[in-house]
Amino acid sequence: MKSTIFAPRNIVIKKKMVKITFPDGSVREYESGITGYEIAQSISTRLAQDVVACGVNGETTELNRPINADASIKLYKFDDEEGKHAFWHTSAHLLAEALQELYPGIQFGFGPAVENGFFYDVLLPDGKQIGEGDFKTIEDKMLELARKDEAVVRKEVGKADCLAQFKAAGQAYKCEHIEQDLEDGSITTYTQGNFTDLCKGPHIVSTGIIKAVKLMSIAGAFWRGDATKDQMQRLYGISYPKKKMLDEYLVMLEEAKKRDHRKIGKEMELFMFSERVGKGLPIWLPKGTDLRLRLQEMLRKIQKQYGYQEVITPNIGGKNLYQTSGHWDHYGKDSFQPIQTPEEGEEYLLKPMNCPHHCEIFANRPRSYKELPFRCAEFGTVYRYEQSGELHGLTRVRCFTQDDAHIFCRPDQVKKEFINVMDIIQRVFKTFNFSEENVEVQISLRDPNNKTKYIGSDEDWHVAEQAIIDACAEKGMKARQELGEAAFYGPKLDFMVKDAIGRRWQLGTIQVDYQLPQRFQLEYVGEDGQKHRPVMIHRAPFGSMERFVAVLIEHTAGHFPLWLTPDQVAILPVSEKYQAYAEQLKAYFDTQDVRSFIDDRSEKIGRKIRDTELKHIPYMLIVGEKEQEEGTVSFRQRGGGEQGTMKYEDFSKKIVEEVRKMTEKC
């Protein structure tokens, strides 16, 4: 008879525990293998219902991924950027799954989440095309599949097995991607229903929470972005966990169309583009130039208070300059190709950035520690190649002017100078009513797992990153940290603003740089009589004049502050008989620095008023017989605001006083 061995009753088999650190610094212990969803459940049922993804040690992952070691965790709802990305990534796969059912034999390219939604590149067999008339059918199929609440299953696969799987499915583009880009041991797939895709993730755990979808547009897209390869169709879409959210987004889009800076810029005669001049090369018209120069003067006034000196550098530079800085190696493909001199064989580039030129200014003569910080500023025009399909009004151009400045300082001065730049940027945002709650701040750090993208030592990077973190802490500024978003030469602080209809724009930036001073061998003589290396701070409060003006147009819908708008007053004579009086008014306003123009067209006064409203002019003056006899003006404010009659001298004083009060705040 076999004996049976019983474990003593007092022996307890302990399960491995892991410590989970939350964003507020609190720590809880859980059994090893716990998932993000289970952690959310342990906090509250409501939270578990709302979360769509989680961040584990800075990496966004699925909620059902086991956590087997101590980790820091963030739980992401749809409202979080990371949550939206996972949600829209799965929605891209849902779109592909629907297309696979509707169009047998379809070929798939890439299908990522983007800033607002997702897209998928596809090619139908036999030269067929998807049109906007097919959108409703595709949307219905997506929702039908979503209602099945299909689990999204992640799987690690070997390269050979993966290639065999996609060859069997007849997916030629996927096979090319596997063969050329992917390494064995690093390949993952995600499956939902009958659709499987190559993907790194992250995703939501099932399709059931996708409740509303909308296909937005369709465009041509070359495979791998290469014009020599097959042209595919790119379907753009967006999705939400609630239909109400989609409805609100579509309303916002309609409002955005009304605010489109390209439309308003044309109506206000601010800028233009010419095919003969070249794509993506904006031309500033007189009114736009006037507006832009006022912006520059506003910043000049602020910079002067902080000790900046203005410089001007050439629009081209020798190729060697950018090889020294490292920009050629990292951004050469995004620059216009070198210009060769006919006889000497020298190579020059259209200036892609200003910082190497400013390094040469610093190196122009010996520097003493007493001169530091040395702050040089330039409204410098730069040139970068953008593909035609990426160009968009003033927000994406091939030629733009940066409100650039570079501060060369001692290491002990970095934090103070950095904080001063933060103050400048906040003053700029406040001037244009970008309130604090609508400004997001991001500390863009180096990706520690991909150091080949960057130059410089680990020690320099640590010091530079810590300087930004400390400056934000001292200012009490809440800033999220993003790995992999740093410039190749240093970390940076990026400012994102939400405009009047909730859209997010990246504007101001500050960067700490230990690398360019080394590459250019910049030196100053310290108090100890020895040579030392300065630290360089890059900054641009507007970002670029073009992009800032575009954002400002759409934020204000063209209703600029009175001090900034190119035309403050429109003078509307009711008939030709009062043209001379209108000219008298304009001549007086010119002496008082009140910007006005006369609408002398042979149109009825009602038409002139309507057209003036369309041009976003703050004030219009209607002048006729009574006004001429009494030396007055009948004025009305844009949008049906203040109206009245007063002496024209008093009206001029009113405008001057309004402008004075506004500019005092700048």
Question: Of 175, 199, 355, 409, which residue is the catalytic one?
Answer: 355
- 334 is a catalytic site residue: no
* CA nearest to 232, candidates 125, 134, 132: 125
- 384 is a catalytic site residue: yes
Q: Look up residue 157 and give its two tokens.
A: 């696969």
- 177 is a catalytic site residue: no
The CA-atom distances, in angstroms, between 15 and each of 31, 32, 206 are: 7, 8, 29
Cis, bond preceding 104 (omega within 30 deg of 0): no
Contacts 24+ apart (CB under 8 A), 584-593: 585/621, 585/623, 585/633, 585/648, 588/648, 588/649, 588/652, 589/652, 592/652, 592/655, 592/656, 593/656
3-class DSSP state of 194? coil
- 210 phi and psi angles, rounded to 5 deg: -85, 110
Q: Look up residue 594 and give its two tokens.
A: 């009140």
- 124 phi and psi angles, rounded to 5 deg: -80, 150
Question: Of 287, 492, 532, 595, which residue is the catalytic one?
Answer: 492
- 518 is a catalytic site residue: no
Question: Of 93, 234, 367, 538, which residue is the catalytic one?
Answer: 538
DSSP state for residue 602 in the 8-state scheme: S
Q: Are 283 and 273 a contacting pair, CB within 8 Å?
A: yes
The CA-atom distances, in angstroms, between 171 and each of 104, 220, 224, 302 are: 12, 19, 15, 58
Q: Look up residue 510 and give its two tokens.
A: 């500050």
- 402 is a catalytic site residue: yes
Question: Of 404, 499, 513, 567, which residue is the catalytic one?
Answer: 404
* CA nearest to 569, candidates 602, 552, 604, 593: 593
Residue 548: CB atoms within 10 A of its CB come to 25
* CA nearest to 462, candidates 493, 441, 491: 491
Question: Of 192, 233, 402, 628, which residue is the catalytic one?
Answer: 402
Residue 539, H or E segment: strand 535-540
- 404 is a catalytic site residue: yes
DSSP codes of every residue in 374-441:
EEEEEEEEEE----GGG-BTTTB-SEEEEEEEEEEE-GGGHHHHHHHHHHHHHHHHHHTT--GGGEEE
- 492 is a catalytic site residue: yes
* CA nearest to 53, candidates 28, 92, 81, 32: 81
Question: Of 77, 294, 384, 498, which residue is the catalytic one?
Answer: 384
Q: Look up residue 485 and give its two tokens.
A: 């978003």
Question: Of 177, 406, 539, 615, which residue is the catalytic one?
Answer: 406
* CA nearest to 522, candidates 644, 347, 366, 383: 366
Give the residue numbers marked as catalytic: 355, 384, 402, 404, 406, 492, 538
